[in-house]
Amino acid sequence: MRYLLSLPLACTLASCALPLTPTTPQWDRHFGEIARVTLAQQVIDTDAGRNGDPVAGMDGRAAHAAFERYQKASSDPAPQPSAFTIGVSGAK
């Protein structure tokens, strides 16, 4: 019985005593590599910041007017008719 209990205990202690140093430097060397690769894959043009040509698209005045219309539409909701006036419009 004593042998059956001491064998798993000895195996457990032996596995804990193994040096962890061979794997740690390898993991540290590749730390963050996947994040850097994923970020690099998302960049279409790496020299885009150096390009001084104007971008074709919406000019400033049109963009400002569109933004103002958007803000006005979302801030002033249309008044809802009362639920109690259904069928009692009084129109001739």
**Chain CA centroid to CA 33, Å:** 18
- Give yes or no for a contact between 58 and 66, defined as CB atoms under 8 angstroms apart: yes
Query: Any idea which residue has 């059956």 for tokens?
Result: 4
Query: What is the per-residue pLDDT for 49?
Result: 83
Distances (CA, A) of 58 to 62, 68, 74: 6, 15, 22
Q: Give 50-71 pLDDT, tens digit per residue.
A: 888 877 888 889 999 999 999 9
Q: Give 38-54 pLDDT, tens digit per residue.
A: 999 999 888 888 888 87
